[in-house]
Amino acid sequence: MERKNIDWGNLGFNYVQTDMRYVSNFKNGAWDDGCLTDQANITMSECACVLQYAQTCFEGLKAYTTENGHIVCFRPDLNASRMADSARRLKMPVFPEDRFVEAVVETVRANAQWVPPYGSGATLYVRPFMFGSDAIIGVKPATEYQFRVFVTPVGPYFKGGAKPVTVRISDLDRAAPRGTGHVKAGLNYAMSLYNIVDAHEQGYDENVYVDSATRTHIEETGGANIIFIKGNTLVTPKSDTILPSITRRSLLYVAKEYLNMEVEERPVFLSEIGDFEEAGLCGTAAVISPIGTIDDHGTLYRYAGMGDGIQKLYDTLTGIQMGRIEAPEGWIKVIE
């Protein structure tokens, strides 16, 4: 297979229009058969529920070329079930989980030429999403929906690649108790845009949100969960208002089963972040991005950056994803 002629090593995290995408429409109470299309643009009513009331949710996963030349993706079944949770919370019809995985596979296969080669540092980011598409003016759910999957080749999420990030404790909140922080609703990201632009203007890479009820414990950033390391222990915040990151859940397993680390998933208090030696952001886009500094209103907490613990976790997780290390049963979906 001939790959696209792209400077894979210098890709940022940007949209590049690829050849094919998957589309299925929901109408009269049922999803249609769905198909691949080359049409990247969408035409819909000016009053579509997604445009008026942000009735949309999405997922993010990646496809990789492994060391032995296969194209694979990582735990797509977990994205399928998380999207089902998001859909239920937003009163949208669930796109069947087996069909979700099949749509991801078909879309990646149809764009195989866009999958970055092994060792290039780039990956193919896969973005399933769905939205309410018919005209809705009173506040209520749509009756028609579209589910789509597109792919785009990407490099590192944070400018500077593996350079440790600098983050700040945010004054604004991301998620309310009993709100939508635990699902991947577009609205969670719309409301973070003001804050991320402000953070960048002030020289920070991301915002660290604390719980909005008590403002005493650490939640996550706008686009990734957080991990901390002290000695041989991996600590990660437990909260009902953060996104259940598939990367974080995988890292907890990898730390315990592959690296013999202790793992703690528990509330992490702002008052204890100075006790940790290493810290990082984890997610599909972020992979594991080491944190250099957390700035809490002028109090600077400094971490080891790519320290031994973060490095081991990074090497093991990416080793599993790229086929260098044997994966736990069911983690790797071979596409071709």
For ligand COI, the binding residues (CB under 6 A) are 60, 223, 283-285
Name which of ligand PLP, ligand COI, none residue 322 binds, using a CB cut-off of 5 to 8 Å depending on partner kind: none
Shortest distance (Å) from residue 82 CB to ligand PLP: 7
Shortest distance (Å) from residue 243 CB to ligand PLP: 4
Using the Cα atoms of residue 283, residue 287, residue 288 and residue 290 in order, give the sign of their dihedral. Answer: negative
Name which of ligand PLP, ligand COI, none residue 112 binds, using a CB cut-off of 5 to 8 Å depending on partner kind: none
Residue pair 85/183 in contact by the 8 Å Cβ criterion = yes
DSSP assignment string, 226-279: EEEEETTEEEEE--TTS---HHHHHHHHHHHHTT--EEEEE--BGGGGGG-SEE
Nearer to ligand PLP, 148 or 182 (CB): 182
Shortest distance (Å) from residue 155 CB to ligand PLP: 16
Task: Tell me the two tokens of residue 319.
Answer: 């080793």
Q: Which of 209, 207, 149 is nearest to 179 (CA)?
A: 209
Shortest distance (Å) from residue 187 CB to ligand COI: 14
Q: Which of 138, 143, 135, 78 is nearest to 104 (CA)?
A: 78
Q: How many CB atoms lie within 10 A of CB 314?
A: 19
Name which of ligand PLP, ligand COI, none residue 278 binds, using a CB cut-off of 5 to 8 Å depending on partner kind: none
Nearer to ligand COI, 83 or 285 (CB): 285
Catalytic residue list contains 256: no
Considering 184, 230, 238, 312, which one is annotated as catalytic? 184
Binding site for ligand PLP (CB under 6 A): 60, 220, 223-225, 243, 245-248, 283-284
Q: Where are the extended beta strands (E) located within 28-133? A: 30-31, 35-37, 56-58, 61-65, 71-74, 123-132
Name which of ligand PLP, ligand COI, none residue 225 binds, using a CB cut-off of 5 to 8 Å depending on partner kind: ligand PLP
Nearer to ligand PLP, 81 or 293 (CB): 81
Nearer to ligand PLP, 24 or 289 (CB): 289
Report the residue number whose CB is nearest to ligand PLP: 283
Contacts of 46 (CB under 8 A, 6+ apart): 135
Euclidean distance between CA atoms 207 and 274, whole angstroms: 17
Euclidean distance between CA atoms 28 and 114, whole angstroms: 36
Shortest distance (Å) from residue 76 CB to ligand PLP: 11
Write the burial class of residue 139 (CB in 10 Å: 0-12 exposed, 13-18 middle, 19+ buried). Answer: exposed
Residue pair 179/188 in contact by the 8 Å Cβ criterion = no
Name which of ligand PLP, ligand COI, none residue 246 binds, using a CB cut-off of 5 to 8 Å depending on partner kind: ligand PLP
Nearer to ligand PLP, 236 or 247 (CB): 247
Work out the angle at residue 279's Cα, subtended by the Cα atoms of residues 277 and 280, and round it to the nearest 5 degrees.
160
Shortest distance (Å) from residue 281 CB to ligand COI: 10
Residue pair 252/225 in contact by the 8 Å Cβ criterion = no
Name which of ligand COI, ligand PLP, none residue 133 binds, using a CB cut-off of 5 to 8 Å depending on partner kind: none
Catalytic residues: 184
